[in-house]
Every structure is written in C-alpha cells, then in structure tokens.
Chains A and B, each alone.
Chain A
C-alpha cells in the first residue's frame, strides 16, 4: 500500500490538515480524518448526492474524489452555512417549506441548491427540478425542497423564478 501523505485543505475558510492514503475518498477524509461529519455518504457511487460539497466553487461528489485530489482546494461544506446560531437563508427556507424529514440527504441538498442557484441567475422552475435531481431524497417527495430552492433563487436574484410556460 502506498504511504499516506499530508493533505491540506481550506474548509469553510479554515485551513485544516490531515493524513490520507492515496486511495482515501475525500468524503472519508472529511468525515473520519477532519471530523466534519455533516457531509453524509449515501451510495458511494456518485448517484445519490448526499455527499455533495463545493470544491473551488463547483458542486462535487466527495465520494467520487480522492482526498489527494483536494490538496490546496477551497471546500465548502454544510458546517460553513450557518453563522453560529444564525441559519443561512437557505437553511431557514428548508425548515419553513418542510424540505427535510430525516435530514440525511439535507447537507447534500443544501450544497447542491447553493451551487445551482448561485451559478445561474435565470433559473426556471424546470431548471430547478432538473438541477435538484442531482440529489436524492427518500422522505419528502421533493415538493418542499423545490419550494425552498425556488424561494432562495428569488431571494438571491431578486426576481421571480419563471414558470416553464413563460418560455413560450
């Protein structure tokens, strides 16, 4: 087995280091080495999206990356959303719209939604549904999630999310 090496990453603005063998998944490195267990693992083959984090500004499946690939990266995880007791606006909307039940998919849902909304200023309802299909929820049936993400997009971009019919 190849020897471990020291990996240094910025997590939610804080530089953290830990040892990882070359084969260690980024999800395991975050959870088991750095203790950031907010990011969950649901399938380990890149389908369910529970482990979604933001790496250098782009949503990524942390189960499909090795920790060594993240050396020097700027990572955002669910733990960085709230400011102490003050929830992030999207977190508040999730609670308000009943967008979570068991909460297992929630961290991945939040990070998926943040990437989707913040990287696209002209989302339609359909874009949100398709975009949020990157993450699976087994509890809610998605209605609350779509409502919360739609409300967040409207907050961030200061305009209503267009219905499909608007596209003609």
Chain B
C-alpha cells in the first residue's frame, strides 16, 4: 500500500471498459477480420454413441471456395488429444480425498467413435462461412449406432462403455471423511434419508465461443485470439499440440462476451484453428453458433445425491453422509475438480462433527460437464439446505431456527472444517458472522414473525405464500498462482499486466484502482493490460472467483519489487535516506519536506540503462518487476438468502415477491461492480431454479437445443432483488479481499425449492429436484387435492 491513504479501493469508480462497449467499438473475436482469412465450419455428431466406419469428404472437397476438408482420420497422427485434463492437485489433497482418477484424454476430432451429440467429426475450411457450411452439409458419414449411456445412474450398470478402458463408466472416485460418520448415524436419535437431483444447465454467455489464428512464417510464430477465460492454458496446449515453443505462441482474449466458467478450459477448437492457420498459411476463423454452443460448449451441474443425516430432537445435526454421482458427460475437462468442490462445501456454514462423502464421476453419452458459476457448490447447497428444511418439518420447527441452531458462531472463527481444500490445505473458514447474515436476510424480507403472520392470513384467503432460505460458504481466490508484471517507463505511467482474463467483470477498472492505491498515483496514470500472454510470462486466468484476490496479490508483489528500485534510485538522486522517502501523488519525496521530491517519470528516466543513469551501485536498470503470487490458501466468502414467493395455483407459476442476499466478500474494490456480480449471479441462479434445463431423451439427444427451448431469464422474469454487502476483511491477504464472481448463482435453486415447499406445506409438498417446473407444482396441488378427497 502507498504511504498515502488508499483512495480508489472501495469506490464505485465508473468502468473504463464502458465507453468502447457502449459505442459498439469493442473488439470481440467475431469482429476480427484479417487479410485472406478463411472460415471453418465443423460437422458434429447427431448420434450420442456411434462407431465411425467411414467419412466421405469428396463432395465437400469439390465445392468451389473450399480450401480444406478433414475428418478425424486425417488428424489422428497429427494432433494429440488435449493433455492435462485433470487440474493439478497437491499430495495433501490426494491423501485426504483418496482419489482414483482416470480422466480420459479428449481427442480433438475422433476417428473411431463418437461419444455425444455435438462432438466434432469433420471440418471444412472455406473462403466464407456460408460456403463452409454448404460443403459441411455434403459430408456423409457411415456410422454404426451403439447403445447410449443415457445418464449417470444408468451408467453404473450399463453394458455399454463410453470409454473402453473405463469399466463401469467411472472416471473418478473420491472419498473423504471427518469424525466417524457410521457410528454417529447409528447413535443419532433421528435420521433423514433423501435422494436429491440437481439438473443440468450451463453458463450460456451471450457471446458464443470463437477462435481466430494467424501464423507468421518469418518468425515461425502463431497468434491465437480466443474467447476464453484462460489464455495461458490455451497457449500451453497449442504449443504442445503444434510442437512449438510457448514463446512462439501468443494467445489473446480480446473483449469476451461473458464466460461464467463455460470458457474456462481449453476446447478442441482452440487447438484446431491454430493448427489450420499454420497448415494453410492463412488466417483462419471459427465462430460457434448458438446451436453448436448448446450442444458442444460445456454443460454443468447434473448431480444425483443420496443423503443420510443424523440429528437430535432439537434439530442439531450430528452427521451427514453423502453419496453422489456426477454425470460428467463424455469427457471431463477439469477432471474431478467440481466433485472435489462439492465434497469440500457440503457442510456450508454449519458446525457438523461427523461427515462422510463418496463420489463417482461418471462418463455418459452427454456433452462434457465443466465448471459453471458455483462449480459443485449449488449442487451441495441444494442437498444440505433442503435437508435442513425437511428436518425442520419433521420437528415442527421453523427452518430459520434449525439453521441458527447449527450455524458456526462468530467466536468459533477461524473454524477448522476437518477436510482438505483443493489446494491441499486443511480448510479453515477465515472470518465472518454467519448467523448475523441470516438475521439480516430475514430482516430484509420484512422479518420472520411478520412473514409467518402474513402467510397465515394469506392462507386463510386461499393464497399460498412461502419463505425460502439458503446459506452457503464459498472458497474463493484459489491458487496455484497468478502472475503480474509492473513497469514504469519514461512516460511515468504505471503499467500493469496480469494473467487475469475478464469476461465482463470490469477488471481493467478494478485492477487500475488496486494499482493506483499501491502506487499512490492518479487512476488515469495506470495502464492495465489483461488476457494477453505476450505481457505476462506465466498466468492462470479468471475462473473460480479468484482474480480479485490472486491478481491483486500479484500486482502487489510485483509492485513491491519495483518500489525497492524506485526508492533506491530516488534516495540516490535526492541524496536522502530511503527510510525517509514516501510515495505521494505520483512522486517519491522526503517525508515532511514537500519541495524535496521527484516524479515517477523522473525516477524512470534515472533508472534507464546507459551512461546518463542515476542509479546507485548494485541497482539494475529499468523499473520493471514480475511476481507470481501464490496464495496461502483460499479466502471464505459466504451468504445468506431469503426469498418470498407466491404460487399461482391455476398455472403453477412461481412468483418471487422479493429476494434478498446478504453477501460477504471481504473488502470490496468497486462496490458497484461487486453488486453487479452478485445480482447477475442471482439471476442466473433463478434461471437455473425455474427455467433453464438441458434436457436429454433416452437416446442421448438434447431436447433443448435452441433458445426457443432453453429459456434464459428475461427482464420481466426478474423479481426485486436486494443484495446487502457485509465486508468482513479476509486475514489472508493485505487487502482483505475475498472472491465474489460465483456466489450469487449458488443459492437460488434451493431457495426457490424451499420457498415453494413452504408455500405448499398444506399439500405436503416435497420438491427434491431442480428445476422447479410449473407442472411439478400442479402435480403437487393435484395430489394434495386427491388426498383430501
């Protein structure tokens, strides 16, 4: 931190991104047009599971304007599969999770077998996209249909195998425990046993994916522009596949139109387009259309839980046993990472002495499953928070009361959970007041007692109101690292580059705020460069609610290196002692002596190499520093949600009257941006809770392959939402930051399900799966009416 007080962190500075985006002057991958650029159309499987006998490319190759048509067989000895599909995990995590992981490599274009509807099996490169699609339509395949492995539960006992080397269709198993779950269940006064299903939906950014690549034969280098959240990961895979030094591969994510995790790993097209550009010696562009996106961009969620909970007559939970299946689809782009998150987050903000979890990551003939906003947390929040409401029902207690009785109290902080996090460190919730968050959320919807009175009165009038609650904690700011380079050149501007890859989070603004405070300069004197591998040697990217913590840490550590030089050089020039110097308003000066100072611009000139320099002995030339911040472990954000719904008994429609989330992500960099992140996440969660569904039939065909069937929330679907931000600083970094990108999306599905069940309690409603569809509600009403007769 600069010696002057922080002046930008905590302020809702207007975003520097806005001007170009509002004018339509941003540059998304689809906007790029390079001289001589060719266009790719990809031919995708219409079968869920099939042996490839032959692909006939002759007709496509004969179309005027077609430069190249290829099938998997043409690439099988040329391009390796995507490597490293299991995100690295340290030994301490492996010791605690007992993992058996055999994540299959993902072939870019299969030549032998197709494993999901939407998987690529051929492609065409042509002078324009219309011609490429014409030619793609002429490609004929001879396929032998195989029995589909339709879902995770069926996969367990299926004769058919998605991958021949994975018996039982199991890609990974994880097992973790704390205490002695078995004994605790046997001795628990009461038990609850339930099956929960959290359905499949997806990130669905408004910009589909896209890749442009250009090869330069003079330097034998390639530049790839991809709509991705992980430029350095894409660079590594492209370099590996094309057998090029990473130094000769530059990957840039220009303006990216939303990601939410769906663009958070390497896809086959990232590599294919780079390969085609190099092979053809011309720029090549591929843009995913929406139908392709629905079929082929990663899906998420899709977990089946069998839960057993032990508790006593007061509702105090002593044990949770959790056995669950993840339907990972045909591949698993980040391995068992989502399942690991699920295991680690199950107990949420509750103090539960015994816990045991077993998980199988199953391969099925569905689109690959990868992290999407929440990444394993919405699924377990659903199972845990539904269980609490069911316990409350059984004991005739208010669901709020059961939560308060089980919550970790503020005086228990930091709280050791007894399980390892994905970074290998034993989980210790760092800070916060969970009961206070729930109290505030209840106040936010008008108070618990007031609501119960209203609910009773409404019921007497034949109206069904319900209150839904949902609480969660979220590990954020995960490592392994983020990189940043900070430079000050003769212009005197502070230039900051990090491996963060924004997709709408306002990083250019937020990191300018952070750097301006670190350096005590005007925010307009900070230049921020993101999502470009040519500016930072190693980087990780923007996934997993991590950048506020990790990129800020990297900016701070690299700044510290540069500051050492700045002070040494200024001390030399000003003939002062370093310890007497301070940063102030873009200058370095002697404390208490306003006239004795020099600007950063002057320091940068004094730092230049050559005979005019003014560096003291032993100080290297140039003001430039790079650091790789390795966080000690994650920071723990948390939230409590409360919503009031009313059920339309004629149509089964759920009307959310009011939705409140009390959210704590530590110190906020830019409160308006933070508020937008949480609200945007909440609306995605409401979409997942009520409308969005990637639904498959028994043949493995996606039934919701367009926006006519896959329903995103619209402006008129959104209820009044109030987000109340608490700011309990994290003790794990000097800023007090925690991450907040994902949180909003975690709770709404279970909050809605709980609210609906509360409203329809007179009908004995029990909804244990998502989404909450109008027909489910009508069925509850019909069944309740039938029972009453």
Contact = CB atoms under 8 A, between A and B. Distances in A.
A143 B683 CA distance: 10
B22 A104 contact: no
A102 B707 contact: no
Interface in B245-270: 255-258, 260
A106 B206 CA distance: 10
Contacts of A132: 714-716
B715 A145 contact: yes
Interface string A119-139: 000000010111011001111
Nearest to A88: B22
A156 interface: no
Contacts of B204: 138
Contact of B721 (A78, A95, A129, A143): A143
Contact of B679 (A102, A103, A130, A141): A141
Given A45-B706, A47-B708, A129-B716, A136 B23 contact: no
B734 to A, nearest CB: 27
A59 to B, nearest CB: 15
Interface string B5-20: 0000000001101111
A103 B17 contact: yes
Contact of A48 (B26, B206, B673, B718): B206
Counting chain A CB atoms within 10 Å of each CB, the highest count among B23, B130, B680, B683 belongs to: B23
Interface in A91-125: 91, 94-96, 98, 100-107, 110
B179 interface: no
Contacts of B260: 138
Given A45-B706, A98-B676, A103-B26, A133 B504 contact: no
Interface string B304-330: 000000000000000000000000000
A47 B672 CA distance: 29
B610 interface: no
Contact of B23 (A21, A78, A102): A78
Contacts, number: 172
Given A95-B14, A129-B716, A104 B707 contact: no
A136 B205 CA distance: 10
Given A40-B28, A103-B504, A137 B290 contact: no
B257 A98 contact: no
A40 B29 CA distance: 11
Q: What range describes how many residues of B lie at the interface?
A: 35 or more
A23 interface: yes
Interface in B660-706: 672-673, 675-676, 679-684, 706
B254 to A, nearest CB: 12
Contact of B33 (A32, A40, A50, A95): A32
A82 interface: yes
Nearest to B203: A138
A132 B713 CA distance: 12
Contacts of A21: 130
A105 B206 contact: yes
A140 B718 CA distance: 11
B633 interface: no
A139 B504 contact: yes
A127 B504 CA distance: 28
B715 A40 contact: no
B789 interface: no
A103 B683 contact: no
Contact of B707 (A47, A95, A96): A47
Interface in A61-113: 77-79, 81-82, 87, 91, 94-96, 98, 100-107, 110
B206 A50 contact: yes
Counting chain A CB atoms within 10 Å of each CB, the highest count among B18, B206, B255 belongs to: B206
A102 B18 contact: no
A45 to B, nearest CB: 6
B715 A133 contact: yes
A140 B679 contact: yes
Contacts of B18: 94-95, 100, 103
B258 A87 contact: no
B714 A136 contact: yes
B23 A133 contact: no
B21 A100 contact: yes
A32 to B, nearest CB: 7
A151 B708 CA distance: 31
Counting chain B CB atoms within 10 Å of each CB, the highest count among A35, A87, A102, A110 belongs to: A102
Contacts of B449: none
B23 A91 contact: yes
The 10 A-B pairs of least Cβ separation, nearest first, read A38-B24, A103-B21, A104-B257, A102-B504, A141-B683, A101-B504, A78-B24, A47-B707, A133-B714, A37-B31
18 contacts: A32-B128, A42-B290, A45-B708, A47-B708, A48-B707, A78-B24, A95-B14, A95-B19, A101-B506, A102-B207, A102-B256, A103-B18, A103-B257, A103-B504, A106-B21, A128-B715, A138-B260, A146-B715
Given A45-B706, A136-B206, 15 more contacts: A39-B24, A44-B289, A91-B22, A95-B22, A102-B258, A103-B22, A104-B258, A105-B257, A107-B24, A129-B716, A133-B716, A136-B714, A139-B680, A140-B676, A146-B715
